[in-house]
Amino acid sequence: MLSGRRVVLGVSGGVAAYKAAYLARRLVEAGADVRCVMSESATQFLGAQTLAAITGEFPVLSFWDEADVSPHTALGQWADVMVVAPATASTIAKLASGTSDNVLIATALATEAPIVVAPAMHTEMWENAATQRNIAILAADGAHVVGPAAGALAGGDHGTGRMVEPDEIVAAIAGALQADLAGWRVVVTAGGTREPIDPVRYIGNRSSGRMGNAIAVAAARRGAHVVLITAAAAPAVAGVEVIPVETAQEMADAAWSRCDDADVAVMAAAVADFRPLLPSDEKLRRGEGMPEITLEPTPDILAGIASRSPRPYLVGFAAESGSLEGARRKATTKGVDLLVGNDVASPGSGFGTDTNQVTVYRPDGSAVEWPLLSKTEVADRLWDLIRDDRQGD
């Protein structure tokens, strides 16, 4: 997967540094040529000799003791890609501000290669406004941020902040090197719309936005410019322009206007089919008796795009429960190029999960069924299909 690619692995000083040894091994197994650079505190957690034994090269540990007169620029120029794993809060802050006070940061500043950053720290540190600001700066500067995940943390704590597993970092590195969607303009919808009943209540659904976010992030990682129109929380990732919306009408307005110059549109949002005809300006009160809420249909965003000429390559989703027959039918009637069906009643699939099990239908009714995969993997497989289809045009 990374055959012949030159990977600089930067290790900063956190407990997750022990996983950097396994990451180095996975990179070597994937065919990469790996060289490491460690901050001083990283050596408190992981022996430089361990990385040397795995990669065949002794890590760069400082500016001063190296045979090379300028180890950071030599390493930075050598790299096809640099990965910082684990990236502590301090290292993220220094990367964001360009504070070049150790050889790891200096290497990151000296490289023109893509940089993958795998944060690892306690939840409070990750959620701190300063860290969030710094990670947003890094993402805006083009870094590929992978994780952190939720799980067990140092000292017996539990929460978000755990470094993602090495295999996921290897996939992110491969993605950072892959630019097969470069130049593509992509529109993705995500999340569940909210249709107001009154200023307090709305008609909504269970969509978390994870599936749409994964599709947007994968496309951006692979070089596309992505417009993510979302009714859910959005990732701060370079290459993804976020348009937050709430209602189906707002999503339709944004999608229809941005689809005009899009190459591909992927509609992963769960859009309300009906909305209250006359939402109340004031909170409905129990004492005022049982309200009667008349519904009207929302705009069909997918149909609006499908009817255009020319139109982008169009992918719809279908949330079904039990049988996917409805998804097959939508593939043949909705005017799409692909229709991704998922059974939201199946364990690990559909709403709010990190995984999904989908079947992808074509308008002729043919289908390919994928196993239960992470939503990131579903997204990458979907982009592979779309890429192959469009290259066949």
Point out which residues bind ligand PMT (CB under 6 A).
189, 207-212, 248, 267-271, 273, 298, 300-302, 316-319, 342, 344, 350-352
Residue 246 vs 300, nearer CB to ligand PMT: 300
When the beta carbons of 207 and 376 are compared against ligand PMT, the nearer one is 207
Handedness of CA 161, 163, 164, 169 (dihedral sign): positive
Catalytic one among 205, 213, 342, 356? Answer: 205
CB of 192 to ligand PMT, least distance (A): 7
CB of 48 to ligand PMT, least distance (A): 42
Shortest CB 160 distance to ligand PMT, Å: 17
Contacts of 257 (CB under 8 A, 6+ apart): none
Name the residue nearer to ligand PMT (CB basis): 106 or 215. 215
Q: What are the two backbone dihedrals, phi and then psi, of residue 117, each rounded to the nearest 5 degrees?
A: -120, 125
Q: How far is the CB of 199 from ligand PMT (least distance, A)?
A: 23
Question: Would you call 128 a catalytic residue per the annotation?
Answer: no
Distance (Å, rounded) from C-alpha 153 to C-alpha 168?
18
The torsion region of residue 348 among left (phi > 0), alpha (psi -120 to 50) and beta comes to left
Beta bridge partners of 45: none
Shorter beta-carbon distance to ligand PMT: residue 66 or 354 = 354
Residue with tokens 């169009």: 314
CA nearest neighbour of 45 among 88, 89, 83, 13:
13
Helix (H, G, I), strand (E, B) or coil at 253: helix
Q: Nearest approach, Cβ of 393 to ligand PMT (angstroms)?
A: 22
Strand partners, 253: none
Comparison of 106 and 267: residue with beta carbon closer to ligand PMT: 267
Q: Which residue is nearest to ligand PMT (CB)?
A: 301
CA-wise closest residue to 341 among 362, 360, 323, 354: 360
Q: Which positions are annotated as active-site residues?
A: 205
